Amino acid sequence: MSIVVQNFERAEQRTVDALGESGVATVHEAQGRTGLFAPYMRPIYAGARIAGSAVTVSIPPGDNWMIHVAVEQCREGDILVVAPTSRCDTGYFGDLLACSLKARGVRGLIIEAGVRDVRELTAMQFPVWSRYISAQGTVKETLGSVNVPIVCAGAAVRPGDVIVADDDGVCVVAREKANEVLVQCAAREKKEAAVRERLKAGELGLDIYGMREKLAAKGLRYV
C-alpha cells in the first residue's frame, strides 16, 4: 500500500508566485476562510514568505525514509508537505536534506513534526514551518507514501495543491481554484488598500463599514 505517485498536475508557476505575494491571511480570506493549517505550525525564523506546489508525504512516526524518496519527486518551485501518521516530535529533517531540496529548487518544508539544524537552516535561508523543533534522530525502516492526499495540521492537502506560508502560518489552495482565488486576492487587496488609507487618516471602521445602525439594532447600548 506504499506508493509514490510520480505524475500530477501543478498550478501555473506565475499563479503560485502571485499567491505567495498575497500571503496567508489574504489567500485564506480570498477562498472563503478555508485551507488554514493549525496555528501550532510555526516558522523556524521570521520573515519568510513562500508559495509552491505541494509534494505530499505520509510518513510513520520517527522514520524519515520517505522524505528521501520524496526528494526525487520534487521540482523547481515545489514545497514539501509532510504529515506523520501519529503525533511525534522527532526531528525528521535537517541541513543535509535541505541542501538536497535546495539543489532541486524546492522553496521550503511544511512538516507536522520536528525539524533540526535550525541554525544551519536559518543561515542557508531554507524556510521550514514545523510543529516542533527537536534534534531527535529518525530511523529508515518503514515505508509511507508520496503524493497521496494527506491531512497535515488539520488541512487536507493533495499533491499539486498550492501552499502559501509566511509569519501567519500555512494555507493550502486547491490547484484547480488557484486562479480564481488569485482574482479574489487582488480584489481584496484593492479594497483593503483603500480602507487602509482611510483608517490611517483617522476614519473609524464603524463609519467606513457602516456598522453603527446594525449595532444599535442588535441592542448595543452606550453608557
Q: Which of 9, 14, 213, 222 binds its own copies (CB under 8 A)?
A: 222
Q: Which of 16, 19, 109, 171 binds its own copies (CB under 8 A)?
A: 171
> Is position 151 an interface residue for its own copies (rule: CB under 8 A)?
yes
Distance from C-alpha of 147 to C-alpha of 80, rounded to nearest angstrom:
10
Q: Which of residues 45-84 bind its own copies (CB under 8 A)?
A: 45-47, 49, 60-63, 65, 68-69, 71-72
Q: Is the separation of the CB atoms in 38 and 154 below 8 Å?
A: yes
> Is position 194 an interface residue for its own copies (rule: CB under 8 A)?
no
> Is position 179 an interface residue for its own copies (rule: CB under 8 A)?
no
- CA–centroid distance for 181 within its chain: 15
- What lies within 8 Å, CB to CB, of 95 at 6+ separation is 117, 120, 121, 124
Q: Quick count: other Cβ atoms within 10 Å of Cβ 13? A: 14
Q: Which of 156, 183, 187, 190 binds its own copies (CB under 8 A)?
A: 156
Q: Which of 9, 200, 210, 213 binds its own copies (CB under 8 A)?
A: 200
Q: Is the separation of the CB atoms in 110 and 150 below 8 Å?
A: no
Q: Which of 13, 21, 25, 189 binds its own copies (CB under 8 A)?
A: 25
> Is position 21 an interface residue for its own copies (rule: CB under 8 A)?
no
- What lies within 8 Å, CB to CB, of 60 at 6+ separation is 84, 85, 86, 142, 144
Name which of 85 and 125 has its Cβ closer to its own copies: 85
> Is position 195 an interface residue for its own copies (rule: CB under 8 A)?
yes
Q: Which of residues 88-107 bind its own copies (CB under 8 A)?
A: 88-91, 94-97, 99-100, 102-104
Q: Is the separation of the CB atoms in 29 and 188 below 8 Å?
A: yes
Distance in Å, CB of 60 to its own copies, minimum: 6
Distance from C-alpha of 189 to C-alpha of 124, rounded to nearest angstrom:
32
